[in-house]
Structure 1
């Protein structure tokens, strides 16, 4: 028992001090207003893939039309075979800068989202945009969002700038599970490491990604990652190759309208990509289960059921876990005491990951908007 407790404690020491201090949640765009204006504002094409997004597409388009961006902005919505009037709602919310493209069938080997993005880029290929904004159909942007993104890219001579949209946190399911999603993402991909050109880590948040078009096309464009389910991090990895410079941060300027009102909707969101994250490897899955059990489940179990030194060490590791989760909870306006329940939340995510593997083995991996991208 004592050896197990010491292993859990060591794991938390490494997480707190050896992974870029990810848990402080300090890498954000609060400094954006202090960034200088570029000498010239580049032309930007904003591409929005949308399939059956009637609930949110109008707000997304309206927020982009309301941008205070000084340069040229083109807005493209790819209506990916929607059956709920998404295209018409987008047109009604837009202005003369909006182009709605009717999407075609998904070719073999392409994920649905990347195929929609491909069609959007093709539609404006000859318009001379040197910057590309990829954003989702459930994302709304503050009026200065694009201007601040471009300022950061030009000032830092970056090839990719991404903001992790503030996720909705209104329902009980969201309040318990969504902050942990951000925490786990940052733990897997420490933002500070991703932003370091000398580090191998590369990550982006697909809801808001600004690309330098020349760098993007020089690396093969979307065709290089056409079948990837976790397309945002695959894109970041592609862009970092050969010395590309990235920046990823948290924000309040970009917000997701996607509602996760119950456990089932969050399960579907996580299970779509969780097994892909593990490379579809059952041995890595087994290792992940063991690691999650050691890091998140062992400390409270030891604190409650063990005796002597093992109990106190388990309690200390549980306390470190609670401390690490507190900054993320505060960003969502939630009490840090909720961190005491992180073991149960982590256990829930572990079940979601196992469900992701089960779906892949059943030939229904990557299920999203009625389509699958399974390897089986």
Structure 2
């Protein structure tokens, strides 16, 4: 066989394995577990870290204030040194909409060794513990919840039996409105699921751990046992680090796709999406040049190999390359269809996944370049030059 044919066959083998051997990551059926409502609804404190979120809060915060929850619940919004009046906007919205009681606190700039979000979460949890809630809901300032979201999350966590969870997290449905969002956003969740197959995360005794930081319900005792957030204070990918800490401390976790929790943050331009991905992409590789060196050709083989070898096989009359490349591309396309369906997008976007994968590959390389330039993970005016990917617990 020709070299092109060998590449095509290698790509096909990779896609057969991804289809059948990677926890069926491409399926989108991991939705919130349904348990019976508890006889007594536990108390919950909602912690919202917010930095320069004055534009997002009028869309997201009223949905939290309006939660239809039968037990005791309150909201703590941690204003993380915002420069746009975030705290005052939150107070005004609370007065205007009523609903759950809201407390706004401002902890000041983070101490050395802390990322900004986790510093804010630390102060929110510390204040929450004074009220001794049984659950903490950690949710971002750009996440909108349907009125029964908190009720469903608590019911899904269970009452402490063998089917109960210490951490329940939903991957919020991200906004998909602009052309770039349609091309990039569903693939972001698809790639995340490929790295952390939800079915494996949710299996009892699982070794795979992950969470979606926009919506995490956490038992307070599990947070204390795992020393959250102190044990992950330097984490850039804080949601995955949080899930690992809970799992390592003996907790059981669950992760799935949301049906009634949405991100309202817009990413209308490619540059906006690029910044979102590149700020943590190299941290995902643990800032390892060796992992980066293996990732680049690996992604090229898996995602670029199929269309390139199909075209090359057709042009050169190489039937093995054309057949294997075409079959691999077909499998790739088929695995992407469920995610596009979940996002209510045209299925004709599925064959474009190789192009989107190239964008993500370039974002990852750019993330590494920025890291070695000393810029690290930059977000909202803060730069973490040498952050830890996942500190030891």
Instruction: Tell whether the structures are fold-level matches, with TM greater than 0.5.
Output: yes
Q: Which residue of 2 aligns with 1:28?
A: 31
Following TM superposition, the consecutive aligned residue runs of length 4 or more in structure 1 with deviations greater than 3 angstroms are none
- Aligned counterpart in structure 1 of residue 147 of structure 2, from 139, 143, 156: 143
Q: Which residue of 1 aligns with 2:39?
A: 39
How far is 1:22 from its partner? 1.1
Q: Which residue of 1 aligns with 2:365?
A: 354
In structure 2, distance between residues paired with 1:266 and 1:76: 29
1:15 aligns with 2:1: no
Contact 2:213–2:238 (8 Å) recurs in 1: yes
In structure 2, distance between residues paired with 1:281 and 1:144: 43
Contact 1:47–1:77 (8 Å) recurs in 2: yes
- Aligned counterpart in structure 2 of residue 204 of structure 1, from 204, 211, 220: 211
- Aligned counterpart in structure 2 of residue 98 of structure 1, from 78, 96, 102: 102
Q: Which residue of 2 aligns with 1:221?
A: 228
In structure 1, distance between residues paired with 2:124 and 2:241: 19
In structure 1, distance between residues paired with 2:217 and 2:321: 49
For these two proteins, the number of residue pairs brought into alignment is 373
Contact 1:50–1:57 (8 Å) recurs in 2: no
1:337 aligns with 2:337: no
- Aligned counterpart in structure 1 of residue 337 of structure 2, from 326, 345, 350: 326
How far is 1:198 from its partner? 2.2
Contact 1:197–1:244 (8 Å) recurs in 2: no
Q: Which residue of 2 aligns with 1:6?
A: 9
Q: TM-score, normalised by structure 2?
A: 0.93
How far is 1:60 from its partner? 2.2
1:295 aligns with 2:302: yes
How far is 1:123 from its partner? 2.1
Q: Which residue of 1 aligns with 2:268?
A: 261
Contact 2:225–2:249 (8 Å) recurs in 1: no
Deviations 1:122-148 (A, max 9, x none): 223211111000000000000000000
Q: Which residue of 2 aligns with 1:127?
A: 131
Q: Which residue of 1 aligns with 2:380?
A: 369
In structure 2, distance between residues paired with 1:102 and 1:58: 19
Contact 1:322–1:337 (8 Å) recurs in 2: no
1:189 aligns with 2:185: no
SS of aligned partner of 2:111:
coil
How far is 1:333 from its partner? 1.2
In structure 1, distance between residues paired with 2:206 and 2:142: 32
In structure 1, distance between residues paired with 2:75 and 2:132: 14
Over aligned residues, Cα RMSD in angstroms?
Answer: 1.2
Deviations 1:19-53 (A, max 9, x none): 11110211123x64xx3111211110100000100
Q: TM-score, normalised by structure 1?
A: 0.97
Q: Which residue of 2 aligns with 1:89?
A: 89
